[in-house]
Structure 1
Amino acid sequence: MRILVAMSGGVDSSVVAGLLAEEGHEVVGATLQLYDHGAAVQKKGACCAGQDIHDARNVADRLGIPHYVLDREQVFRREVIGDFADTYARGETPVPCIRCNQTVKFRDLVALARDLGCEALATGHYARRVAGPQGAELHRAADTARDQSYFLAATTQDQLEFARFPLGGFPDKAAVRAVAARFGLPVAEKPDSQDICFVPEGRYDSLVAKLRPDAVAAGEVVHADGRVLGGHEGIARFTVGQGRGLGTASWDGQEKLYVAGVDPSRRRVVVAPRGALESTEAEAGEVNWLIEPPVAPFRCAVKLRAREVPRAATVAWDAAARLARVTLDEPGIVAPGQACVMYDGDRVLGGGFLRAAGSVDSTRAAA
């Protein structure tokens, strides 16, 4: 086949290009230039900017495949970085990797692949695409420590049919690097991407301050019972479940306090003992189903954060409100803005974004 490979300049996507070329496919490499704010050029573990683009081009030259660079800075700034800042300003916690996959990566690269006459788009994600009786299915990777299915839950069925994930069956990263070394790729020992790629030195609050200064305006830290315990320097610095950065408001007598909620309208951070944060109820909007939307409540496992183990739950799809109503078997911390991804074993059934209880879904234009 003619296959477009999304090449970020890292070892994973480089190995994908090498493997597909070795199998005899006509491989075309494409790199998205998403940002370049100076520090990105030299920042280790970044992607899609500066040195990474040069690395992708060098790999393509080594493999003897054509390579294209697509400027998507404006789209990325609007639909990923802008959404990142807006989400914090709403008092929620964003998942920019999902937004990036949902917009500039799969939407734009699938369109490019089809324009170039390609029959598939391959990426370096650690996930598995399995041919099922009703079409392509998204499954967790063999290497559960690196599984990225959570970040692919917004991939549509049409995009999934077109996608390929050659690394999904690899046992670990060492095996991937061994293949890179066998191909003689210059990125074989390149460090993995770290943190949020477009945030230099991990200081996301300074980025939010430039785009949404209201999200870094001072306000009060308030106990759930109404007592004012202290102050803060911006709601963008807090997320539900956080226990650090609260200063004198982190302790109330004999109990440690955690962020229980963020009220952007009054610039308040609400804190409470950890037990008060946990709930068995959650709601998710902007749901992308990879199965037929269920008409009756069903049992599954859900992940409410990328790094947590899936937990047993019952999910009911409210088609009128366009909300997935989740009832957890055991209470957990629900952070609005994070993704809720539903699994049947290793298979991803669908996913959406957590909402505060009782909210109404409003699908973003980027979805």
Structure 2
Amino acid sequence: MRLEQTAGVGAETGRRLLAAFGLPENIFSASFSALHKVVPERVAYALLAPPSDATQALIDRTLEWLQHSANQLITLADVAYPQALLDIADPPLMLYVKGRAELLVRPAMAVVGSRNATAQGIANADRFAEILSQRGLTIISGLALGIDAAAHHGALRGAAGYPESGSTIAVIGTGADIVYPARNRGLAHQIAEAGCIVSEYPLGMPGIAANFPRRNRIVSGLARGVLVVEAAAQSGSLITARMAAEQGRDVFAIPGSIHSPLSKGCHQLIKQGAKLVESAQDILEELGTFHRTAAVHAGGGAANNEAQIAGEADEDIAAMADDNQRLLRQLGYDPISFDVLAARCESDAASLNGQLLELELAGLIEVLPGGLYRRID
């Protein structure tokens, strides 16, 4: 911690110093001339100075944090440091871990996407994560709103009560003692209990915008592949996908409507070589992962799980009034305005409003910005 908190020492310089001198105590006992061969003069002088009061206070605070059995600090020198991160171009010097640190070395899949996700995107992230978790993959995401939160929820549910299944890892852009955004506080507590929370940032680090894109290399680095559920043409999810490709990880994307801005990023990735997926089974087959654990006790794995969900949706539709079934077919999966829908259905405004409300309450359609409607699968 003292090394990382020294002015002018970032992850790259820290790794260079460790490569030259070994453990941190060797760095701090080295002479100025020896240090200056590796780092600039100002950094060499900073390394020779005693730790500042702020650094010492942070060290003391972290030692106190480590008294809790769920908290760990894993450094590059520890055998517990995940090999997957050692293989990336810019591994962090330290990982602050809250929860089940053993998940860091288990087969994992990252699931990322938009914070402002559609209801369909949320459902897809949740469903894919649940099935992949049941099949033994740990689901990694970033604890953000939208797709990230849905992926964590699905993974926790998929792993519930089955220790051989996967779980979930939240890689955060703040200190491990801070929950950001605050709305995910309850979710963060669940992850700390059943999964783990990971950060490269010191305790007390607030949510700084630049830290979130940077943590994405850890999200992709820990995973065997990255699934992008929904993403705009310019988004952080595409940064994660790019990092994954650079790290030699598989990139998967779920296609969507050609009219949806949140499908543009996924379609762009598919054009660039990402694998188009329509089900969790597509990912499992690509990765060669066939862990027969929790998903099978209902009688048949991921495919049966998805078929069961589809069957339940069909039953919901069948139970609806004929007029609502007809409207649902007219809606389709592309966004449509109220006026166009009214003309298509030849329906008056009052009746159509009532039907749309009923379908929305049943969870079968969603209302998009601009007064548009879309069917949810």
Bigger strand fraction: 1
Higher relative contact order (CA 8 A, sep 6+): 1
Q: Larger C-alpha radius of gyration, 1 or 2?
A: 2
Is TM (by shorter chain) over 0.5? no
TM-score, normalized by length of structure 2?
Answer: 0.27
**Higher helix content, 1 or 2:** 2
